[in-house]
Amino acid sequence: MNKYLKLDEWNIIEEEFNKDNVTSSESIFSIGNGRMGQRANFEEKYSGDSLQGSYIAGVYYPDKTKVGWWKNGYPEYFAKVLNAANWIGININVNGEDLDLAKVTVKDFKRVLNMKEGTLARSFKAQLANKNKISVDTQRFLSIVDDDLGAIKYAIKAENFTGQIVITPYVDADVMNTDSNYDEKFWSEVSQSANNCEAFVSAITKKTAFAVTTAMRYEIWKNGEKLNLDPKVLTREKYAESSVTIDVKEGDEIIIYKFATNVSSFNHPEHTLHQVAKAELDKAQEKHYDKMLAEQVQAWAAKWEESDITIKGDVAAQQAIRFNIFQLNQTYTGEDERLNIGPKGFTGEKYGGSTYWDTEAYCLPFYLATADKKVARNLLIYRYKQLGKAIENATKLGFNSGSALFPMVTMNGEECHNEWEITFEEIHRNGAIAYAVYNYIRYTEDKEYLVDYGLELLMGISRFWSQRSTYSKNLEKYVILGVTGPNEYENNVDNNWYTNTLACWCLNYTLEALEYVKETNPTKYKALVSKLNFVELKEASRWKNIAENMHFPESKELGVFLQQDNYLNKEQILVKDLESKHRPINQKWSWDRILRSCFIKQADTLQGIYLFEENYDIDTIERNFDFYEQRTVHESSLSPCVHTVLAAKLDRMEQAYELYLRTSRLDLDDYNCEVHEGLHITSMAGTWMSVVQGFGGLRVYDGKLHLSPKLPKSWESYSFKVRFHGHVIHVQTFTDKIEISNQGKANVPLLVFGKEYQNIANTTLVITL
């Protein structure tokens, strides 16, 4: 853990320059707009430890898989999110000395991520080796209004000298990924040019041939007046700069406005990229910085109006939830159905930036509740459009008849995960994608999605479960063998309870969906049956038989579901009995020792109880929670949120709050000492779940909204909004009452603590506690 940031409700604030924190802060203070993202690297030269990172949505590289033992069906590559051209660069030289915070004396350093307005600011004073002193104030943002544009305002003041400041804005595409498997650079140059105060660099990715043009234009003001410039330009491979020398005297202030754009062949024809980039720069310069900033502030205000959670009485909790919501909103906007949400978003290279099951299991509920339904719908369309690839993935593993196995990791629908125990065994991901269809429909009532897209996807997944299940004569039950559940500290186990539970639910839900489409749209049903060569009597009866006769491991003596067969054969040590020197076990123990232990990386059996909570009585939930929580080391960012929701359900509010802080401040306080690699974006949606589903008790049962709000001890109140069936419901919980405002045009029936109410349109329901 590393706590060095100041608590503030709307801002992330760093008030001291510490070289040891630079890479961590580069992650934490990252900015994005759904189309691209930028780590909080310094604009000026920095020779210290740094992870340079500029990322463009949809642009990736298939890095050849690096393994010691190749197996049939193994992915040939791992898709890497690419470090793209550095567009923020502005080198500063003062009377012959470069400004480099690793080499100068730094005072009054402050960095502020303004989450309310979507900007990053930094200020400091520096004394260079030549004793010249300067003060610097910077601000930058990636526009969510014009999402191909970024803007920088960089101000320098000469504090104690007369002389010259050389200012060199540049674009540099000669970059590489630190996670390159073979130390390879992934970009080839197309062209570079610089003229007057602008520069263009065009590069293309190897293998995937994504072309990107990065361009910049700048202007310089001195003491409030715009200067006429005569810059010197320099180009070399994948690099272009424009440099000017400014005469200054003590007290003079220089302001550089730099506008930049990244445009790619993902969105524009390749031959138009230079023209499009120029048009973007023209637009930015015409609007100029202040207007672009005003639009940014207004756009972020609209986002916060939809998705903000307020917490009174606990600044740490308030800052944390807003940080998580901010990062989710700047990572994915839902405007483009070709895009998804990588575990690190736009903040780092780890995990390849590809799509995981995290999207459906954790992120979808957030977007369902806080944005127009098209945002969540586009996440589902993303998967539907990759159904063909999912069928190919299953075929590679020996499945047939239209079985679909969606990838564990992907950029384009093709599996690209390079660990066999995940690629071949962690098949529960299929269930998460099916559950997302169900979740979307129950929140939105958009059953047309089921007719047009969802059923076909569900049938492919159910065909997979049907073939993956085998009948055990010994047990006289169906079994699913050789799997890895969400707890990745177990591999190649038989009958993971969560996987079996999810598989049976998928089969039953698909059967329900078949009946619904058959009754409501027989024409569509017949066309789909024909397209998929679906033999209803044979396939549907088998699905039903499997669902009714699946083996579920359990201990009747303990009254708990067992994570998998033979789980109790392991030595049952509790987390509380582990000495601190052994934690985290994924860094201190061999993999062999971890696999033989009973310890659990993240919610597994409890993940299933969380999803299907309505199927279990409170005693069953409590017994399983008590059993598994004591064995869970929470060494996955995805773990604490599920435990928070269940702990709150069980009125374990102190424990729920502790788990909430862990998940919400995971990156801000660097619980796992790994934030320098990037933020845990997808688990941030779990923080939202912790408040809304945990403390708020929000559930959807039988088409109705249920709420059971509870107030953590240190909170005075909290509030959140959710969208449900086209209505916006605002829930505020106080120590003595709950206020539920229906901001829609129709009445909404809902249940609070099990009692049904009519939430009248445009009125507030007040319930006294």
pLDDT tens digits for 469-483? 999 999 999 999 999
Looking at the chain, the whole-number percentage of residues with pLDDT higher than 70 is 99
Q: Which CA distances in Å does 299 have to 151, 152, 376?
A: 16, 18, 20
Residue 689 phi/psi, 5° resolution?
A: -60, -40
The alpha carbon torsion through 722, 376, 116, 314 (nearest 10 deg) reads 50
Tokens of 104: 């100068």
Looking at the chain, the whole-number percentage of residues with pLDDT higher than 90 is 93
> Model confidence over 157-187: pLDDT tens digits?
999 999 999 999 999 999 999 988 888 999 9
Q: What pLDDT is stored for residue 669 in this prediction?
A: 97
Q: What pLDDT is stored for residue 69 in this prediction?
A: 65
Instruction: Assess contact for 730 and 721: CB atoms under 8 A.
Output: yes
**C-alpha closest to that of 343 among 730, 631, 691, 683:** 683
Q: What's the mean per-residue pLDDT of the chain?
A: 96
**C-alpha closest to that of 236 among 290, 276, 199, 206:** 199
CA distance 13 to 24: 13
Q: What pLDDT is stored for residue 36 in this prediction?
A: 97
376-403 in b/e form (b: 16+ CB < 10 A) is bbbbbbbbbebbebbbbbbbebebebbb
Tokens of 407: 């990838």
Give the pLDDT mean for 734-750: 95
Q: How confident is the model at residue 461 (pLDDT cuts 50, 70, 90)?
A: very high
Quick check: helix, strand or coil at residue 357?
Answer: coil
C-alpha of 715 from chain center: 27
Q: Which of 349, 488, 539, 629 is catalytic?
A: 488
Does residue 26 carry a pLDDT above 70?
yes
Q: What pLDDT is stored for residue 180 in this prediction?
A: 87
Strand order in the sheet with 31-32: 31-32, 36-38, 54-56
Q: ∠ CA(404), CA(410), CA(415), 5° rounding?
A: 50
Does residue 11 carry a pLDDT above 70?
yes
Does residue 744 carry a pLDDT above 90?
no
Give the pLDDT mean for 586-593: 94
Q: How confident is the model at residue 220 (pLDDT cuts 50, 70, 90)?
A: very high
Does residue 68 carry a pLDDT above 80?
no
**C-alpha closest to that of 49 among 101, 109, 87:** 101
Tokens of 244: 């000017």
Tokens of 158: 């000469």
Instruction: Identify the helix (H) or strand (E) that includes residue 57.
Output: none
Give the pLDDT mean for 625-629: 98
548 is catalytic: no
Q: How confident is the model at residue 607 (pLDDT cuts 50, 70, 90)?
A: very high
Instruction: Assess contact for 757 and 749: CB atoms under 8 A.
Output: yes
Q: What pLDDT is stored for residue 353 in this prediction?
A: 61
Residue 243 phi/psi, 5° resolution?
A: -120, 140
> Model confidence over 525-581: pLDDT tens digits?
999 999 999 999 999 999 999 999 999 999 999 999 999 999 999 999 999 999 999
Tokens of 124: 């400091």
Quick check: helix, strand or coil at residue 152?
Answer: strand
Give the pLDDT mean for 483-494: 96
The upper half-sphere exposure of residue 626, i.e. CA atoms within 13 Å in the direction of its Cβ, equals 12
Q: What pLDDT is stored for residue 187 in this prediction?
A: 97
Quick check: helix, strand or coil at residue 257?
Answer: strand
pTM of whole model > 0.95?
yes
Does residue 78 carry a pLDDT above 90?
no
Strand order in the sheet with 717-724: 310-312, 717-724, 727-734, 737-742, 764-768
